[in-house]
């Protein structure tokens, strides 16, 4: 942690986005995580992404559970809404918030412990609901806040700074996300912002559940070379299969892509994601293909990254439940409440 806060002075030529804000206007309080924590890099990527998307701070809601990862919402976009909830229960809070106001942008920040251990049930069900939100798992393979015990995402044979190697099978959030039907699944690495920022922008613009598993080394307990979640190991084993560029609505897709190499996919808000397949056999719109590719690469002990699967046609929670297009939060009490008589009629329909 740092004792001075980041000086208010900024680069005199820093640019403003479409709504007149500078990148530094999207910052939060200074991080109290360990120096060099991957989570802080993810925070910086988030700041970059929401700045580039020109999201109005008051139209953004950040939700989190418990853990090092879940402290992150304090460190970006101070002027947005935030809810630091109970361990593993962030998806419920996000669901409730989204049910009440479907117009906000929701970013959930979780960790491998918060999502894959205590919050596993909630994690599975929020995918099932296809809640329109960005769900970030800051994945470091250890419980940092309780001094670095192996978490559910630690690989077999991976060894942290102290103690024996991990012997239990890992849960891979990406395979699980695809298996459970998440409509946007990507894996990034905190040490590669060039890849990470477009992945976050894509997830935010995607209508439906955007799952981002981001490997985020724990410098204090799990950044030794024998750990599969260390900076050096990820850099050695990373295999980017799909390079995804994010193109905002107003911008045209430039002709920098060669014919046949690039595949643009339009999102609901008019923005586009341009896939450039690094691995020619990979098809990010095929759920089955993505799943088997993942299994194969796991066997080869590769860490595959990039935008691995997208389904932009699936209905999100509001569409499948046919709820009002006007956010409930904006409908007056008189309109929302059917009245005693009408309520009795409704109840009778279910008898």
Cβ proximity to another protein, 3 vs 333, nearer residue: 3
Displacement of CA 325 from its chain's centroid (Å): 25
Show the binding pattern over residues 30-69: x = contacts another protein (CB under 8 A), - = does not: ----xxxxx-xx-xx-------------------------
By the rule CB under 8 A, 239 interacts with another protein: no
Residue 129 neighbours by CB distance under 10 Å: 20
Residue with tokens 């009408």: 342
Contact region with another protein (CB under 8 A), list: 60-68, 81-89, 215-223, 293-301: 215-223
Tokens of 126: 């929020």
What is the nearest approach in angstroms of another protein to the Cβ of residue 6?
A: 5
Separation CA 81–CA 84 (nearest Å): 10
Determine if residue 268 is left, alpha or beta; phi over 0 gives left, psi from -120 to 50 gives alpha, anything else beta.
alpha
Cβ proximity to another protein, 218 vs 310, nearer residue: 218
* Contact predicate 195/128, CB 8 Å: no
**Each residue of 12-48: b (16+ CB within 10 Å) or e?**
eeeeebeeebebebbbbeebebbeebbbbbbbbbbbb
By the rule CB under 8 A, 191 interacts with another protein: yes
Q: Which of 193, 276, 277, 312 binds another protein (CB under 8 A)?
A: 193
Q: Which of 21, 24, 262, 312 binds another protein (CB under 8 A)?
A: 24
Cβ proximity to another protein, 117 vs 230, nearer residue: 230
By the rule CB under 8 A, 74 interacts with another protein: no
Contact region with another protein (CB under 8 A), list: 160-168, 190-198, 254-262, 310-318: 190-198
Q: Cα separations (Å) of 240 from 122, 187, 251, 263?
A: 29, 9, 25, 16
Cβ proximity to another protein, 13 vs 280, nearer residue: 13
Contact region with another protein (CB under 8 A), list: 94-102, 110-118, 228-236, 328-336: 228-236
Residue 309: which of 122, 178, 139 has the closest Cα? Answer: 178
What is the nearest approach in angstroms of another protein to the Cβ of residue 221?
A: 12
Q: Which of 91, 111, 217, 306 binds another protein (CB under 8 A)?
A: 217
**Each residue of 178-200: b (16+ CB within 10 Å) or e?**
bebbbbbbbbbbbbbbebbbbbb
Residue with tokens 């992404």: 49
Contacts with another protein by CB under 8 A lie at 1-4, 6-14, 24, 34-38, 40-41, 43-44, 190-191, 193, 217, 219, 223, 231-232, 235
């Amino acid at each position: 942690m740092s004792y001075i806060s980041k000086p208010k002075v900024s680069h005199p030529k820093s640019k403003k986005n479409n709504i007149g804000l500078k990148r530094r206007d999207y910052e939060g309080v200074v991080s109290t995580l360990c120096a060099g924590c991957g989570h802080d890099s993810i925070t910086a990527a988030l700041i970059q992404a929401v700045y580039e998307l020109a999201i109005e701070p008051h139209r953004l809601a950040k939700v989190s559970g418990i853990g090092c990862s879940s402290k992150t919402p304090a460190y970006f976009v101070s002027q947005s809404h935030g809810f630091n909830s109970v361990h593993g229960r962030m998806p419920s809070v996000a669901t409730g918030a989204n049910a009440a106001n479907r117009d906000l942008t929701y970013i959930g920040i979780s960790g491998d412990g918060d999502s894959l251990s205590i919050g596993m049930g909630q994690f599975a069900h929020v995918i099932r609901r296809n809640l329109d939100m960005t769900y970030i798992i800051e994945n470091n393979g250890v419980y940092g806040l309780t001094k670095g015990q192996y978490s559910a995402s630690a690989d077999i044979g991976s060894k942290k700074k102290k103690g024996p190697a991990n012997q239990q099978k890992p849960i891979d959030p990406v395979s699980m996300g695809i298996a459970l039907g998440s409509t946007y699944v990507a894996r990034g690495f905190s040490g590669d912002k060039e890849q990470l920022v477009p992945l976050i922008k894509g997830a935010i613009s995607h209508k439906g559940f955007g799952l981002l598993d981001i490997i985020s080394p724990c410098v204090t307990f799990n950044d030794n070379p024998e750990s599969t979640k260390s900076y050096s190991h990820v850099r050695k084993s990373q295999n980017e299969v799909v390079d995804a560029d994010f193109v905002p609505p107003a911008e045209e897709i430039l002709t920098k892509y060669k014919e046949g190499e690039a595949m643009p996919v339009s999102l609901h808000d008019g923005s586009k994601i341009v896939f450039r397949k690094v691995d020619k056999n990979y098809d990010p719109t095929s759920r089955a293909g993505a799943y088997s590719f993942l299994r194969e690469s796991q066997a080869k002990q590769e860490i595959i990254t990039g935008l691995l699967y997208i389904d932009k046609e699936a209905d999100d929670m509001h569409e499948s439940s046919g709820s009002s297009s006007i956010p409930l939060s904006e409908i007056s009490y008189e309109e929302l409440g059917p009245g005693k008589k009408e309520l009795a009629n409704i109840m009778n329909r279910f008898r």
